[in-house]
Amino acid sequence: MNLVSELQKVKGVGEKTGLQFAQAGIHTVGDLITFLPRAFEDFSHVTGITDIKPGKATIKAHCEMIVTRPVRRGLRITTATLTDGTGKLQAVWFNQPYREAQLKTGEEFFFSGEFEFNYNRYQLTNPSAEKVSEVPVQTDRVLPVYRAIKGLKSTLVRKILDELKPLVTMLPETLPTTIVQKEKLLSRSDAILAVHFPKTPEQIESGRERLAFEELFELLLASQLNRQENAKLEGWHIPFEQQVVKDFVAGLPFTLTGAQRIAAWDILQDFEKSTPMNRLLQGDVGSGKTVVAGLAARQAAHEGFQTAVMAPTEILASQHAETLQKLLSPFGVTVGLLTGSVKGAARKELYKAIGNGDVQVVVGTHALIQETVSFHRLGFVVIDEQHRFGVKQRQELLKKSEHMPHLLAMTATPIPRSLALTVYGELDISILNELPKGRLPIKTKIWSPNSRPQLYSLVDEEITKGRQAYVICSLIDDNPDNDIKSVQAEYKKLQNSVFKHRRIGLLHGKLAPGEKDAVMQLFARGELDILVSTTVVEVGVDVPNATVMVIEDADRFGLSQLHQLRGRVGRSIHQSYCYLVTSTSASPSQRLKEIEKSNDGFYLAEVDLSLRGAGEIYGHAQHGALNLQIATLADTKLIARAQSAAKAFVASGADLLEYKELAAHVKKYQRLTTLN
């Protein structure tokens, strides 16, 4: 038996089990050995039930009674009474009906979960359960838990791995030995042994460190190599014309912030180089990214180059088109808007105008990357809210030019440095860390649902002063199964009662594009007082006269999302307010408290990263595709170490091809992250 033997050959793996593994992509012995635990269950600290305190707890108990009942469609609750001789407590599982069969055997189990106050009593929520008889006694009782594969329990995976233990020691080293030594890392086989067969938490940590380092090293090395390749590309040379830029700036109704000037200067310098720009413009909501892009587009147009601006939604695309039109038409630069709702003859016309260069700045949704669109000397590509676009879509757009165009990716989701390095490793970064002068910090306050009348009177006062308000709900339609607010119902309710005397609009993703636009236009022109909307307004919408943002069921939103939503107000010299209404009168979550406390997107991004992990926040288009198994992007110190090791490796002129497996992984990451 060796690493490439079929898994079926292993003792204890029948045909059925073999097939189940195969469906999860695990075919060989080597595949299973490198199938790493997703978490660890620590049964080393057992508490007696009488001594249990709120928080994470492990008990050793029998199940006395267990029932499952359907609560509503899609929700089944299993409750059990657990006893350990010192006392009894209740355990609750959501949608885990199999717990009944598992626990009814009467054996003793370790249960580990959150002991918390819920539904009017203390209970152990969603605890894991492991038979005491199956937890090895010679260890500290720390057990690896594997990603669920249909029909295969962690217990079985552990058993099979036990059989394979001798083979693990044969795993070859994949990292250059100099790096392993310098970084004081475990060898690859020792690290994998440590995570599959942990004896102590410290051992797990060393194993994890080594494996996470390896992943990050591969990823960062890929970025380094992509950077090297980008540097060899031939781009468009767009010379800097001082007078052109001066005139543009002089025409603005405001003065640029220092940060805007620096970012613009970064871009204009990149334009002059023979290699294409790859730059990320990172600015907190309201920091004024659009005008920076506009300035660069002006310079490009002056030298006869076309600019494409790609936005993730129609609303945003049409708003950008309008803004850029205002900024650029005084200089004779033509702006066109291409979205899914431009149809028939108008669309054909537009294609033609784009193709022959009559339209100099093309704004659009992903309609821009369709086969049929051909550009004319496309020199500059701007991608707004870049984390919403996958690498592939960016590549499609960049392909539409004879030379690689200069790329400016813009994002209002501030990215912690560690994340920027890993996910956007081949981009240069400009940061707008300064809000335009005269902006007052938004006042944010958490409200419990029963204080709504008071809240509404505050909203009404603002409207009386001539301001406008957003009311955000998470659903479009009411769902009979829950009490979550929907825009349809809120719209009706507000219109028929509290705000009868006000002009209210309704916006959500299911409206036809034309309808969405019409509502947005009304709101932007001040012809609506209140806009009841889903999160379609989340990104980029700019109506400076709106000063109130009410977010219903605020606890349902992520931190970054709340910050984005809040960024729709606070865009003028007027004081703005953000009111977060919770779903219940229970004490508000950490998230809401953080957002109430801080207006700083960079700070909130760090908090969000530590609360949730990166995959959730930055979407699967990029981070998910990286498929990091072990490393998390919150590993800032490890990322820094891996980064300098990768740089040193490249600088040393070492030949990657000497490390076969490493090279294969790096190639994969290069393909996943490259812009070209």
Residue 673 partner contact from ligand ADP, Mg ion, none using kind-dependent CB cut-offs of 5 to 8 Å:
none
Q: Which stretch binds ligand ADP (CB under 6 A): 282-290, 345-353, 510-518, 608-616?
A: 282-290
Binding-site size, ligand ADP (CB under 6 A): 18
Residue 542 is a binding residue for ligand ADP (CB under 6 A): yes
Of the pair 312, 379, the CB lying nearest Mg ion is at: 312
Residue 558 is a binding residue for ligand ADP (CB under 6 A): no
Q: Which pair of tokens denotes residue 371?
A: 């086969």
**At which residue do the structure tokens 């993703």 appear?**
509
Among 540, 570, 588, 601, binds ligand ADP (CB under 6 A): 540
Closest CA to 566 of 584, 583, 554: 554
Residue 285 is a binding residue for ligand ADP (CB under 6 A): yes
Burial degree of 170 (CB within 10 A; 0-12, 13-18, 19+): exposed
Residue 571 is a binding residue for ligand ADP (CB under 6 A): yes
- Taking CA atoms, 336 is separated from 357, 363, 368, 468, 513, in Å, by 11, 6, 11, 29, 17
Report, in Å, the least distance between residue 540 CB and Mg ion. Answer: 4
Q: Which pair of tokens denotes residue 674?
A: 């490259």
Closest CA to 371 of 345, 399, 343, 350: 399
Cα–Cα dist 363/321, whole Å: 6
Nearby residues of 250 by Cβ (< 8 Å), 6 or more positions away:
none
Report, in Å, the least distance between residue 384 CB and Mg ion. Answer: 6
Closest CA to 579 of 440, 447, 441: 447
Among 288, 312, 425, 588, binds ligand ADP (CB under 6 A): 288
Report, in Å, the least distance between residue 486 CB and Mg ion. Answer: 27
Residue 1 contacts residue 9 (beta carbons within 8 Å): yes
Q: Provide the CB-side half-sphere exposure for 194 (13 A, CA).
A: 19
Of the pair 123, 257, the CB lying nearest ligand ADP is at: 257
Residue 207 is a binding residue for Mg ion (CB under 5 A): no
Report, in Å, the least distance between residue 290 CB and Mg ion. Answer: 5
Among 412, 537, 549, 595, binds ligand ADP (CB under 6 A): 412
Of the pair 176, 288, the CB lying nearest Mg ion is at: 288
Q: Which stretch binds Mg ion (CB under 5 A): 231-239, 333-341, 346-354, 539-547?
A: 539-547
Among 91, 168, 186, 291, binds ligand ADP (CB under 6 A): 291
Residue 440 is a binding residue for ligand ADP (CB under 6 A): no
Secondary structure letter of residue 51 according to DSSP = G
Residue 98 partner contact from Mg ion, ligand ADP, none using kind-dependent CB cut-offs of 5 to 8 Å:
none
Residue 61 contacts residue 93 (beta carbons within 8 Å): no
Residue 256 partner contact from Mg ion, ligand ADP, none using kind-dependent CB cut-offs of 5 to 8 Å:
ligand ADP
Residue 618 contacts residue 423 (beta carbons within 8 Å): yes
Residue 540 is a binding residue for Mg ion (CB under 5 A): yes
Cα–Cα dist 472/464, whole Å: 20
Of the pair 301, 432, the CB lying nearest ligand ADP is at: 432
Residue 18: CB atoms within 10 A of its CB come to 17
Of the pair 281, 607, the CB lying nearest ligand ADP is at: 281
Report, in Å, the least distance between residue 441 CB and Mg ion. Answer: 19
Closest CA to 636 of 216, 282, 279: 216
Q: What CA dihedral angle connects 271, 275, 281 and 282, to 10 degrees?
A: -150
> Is the Cα torsion angle 272, 276, 278, 284 positive or negative in sign?
positive
Of the pair 435, 494, the CB lying nearest ligand ADP is at: 435
> Is the Cα torsion angle 422, 424, 430, 435 positive or negative in sign?
negative
Closest CB to ligand ADP: residue number: 288
Q: Which stretch binds ligand ADP (CB under 6 A): 27-35, 109-117, 281-289, 643-651?
A: 281-289
- Taking CA atoms, 41 is separated from 90, 111, 140, 159, 648, in Å, by 20, 10, 11, 16, 37
Of the pair 292, 354, the CB lying nearest ligand ADP is at: 292
Residue 207 is a binding residue for ligand ADP (CB under 6 A): no
Among 113, 336, 379, 436, binds ligand ADP (CB under 6 A): 436
Report, in Å, the least distance between residue 294 CB and ligand ADP. Answer: 9
Binding-site size, Mg ion (CB under 5 A): 1
Closest CA to 544 of 522, 516, 573, 584: 573
Report, in Å, the least distance between residue 612 CB and ligand ADP. Answer: 23
Rg of the chain over CA atoms, in angstroms? 29
Cα–Cα dist 238/79, whole Å: 68
Q: Which stretch binds ligand ADP (CB under 6 A): 71-79, 191-199, 252-260, 333-341?
A: 252-260
Residue 570 is a binding residue for ligand ADP (CB under 6 A): no
Residues that bind ligand ADP (CB under 6 A): 254, 256-257, 260, 283, 285-291, 412, 436, 540, 542, 544, 571
Residues that bind Mg ion (CB under 5 A): 540
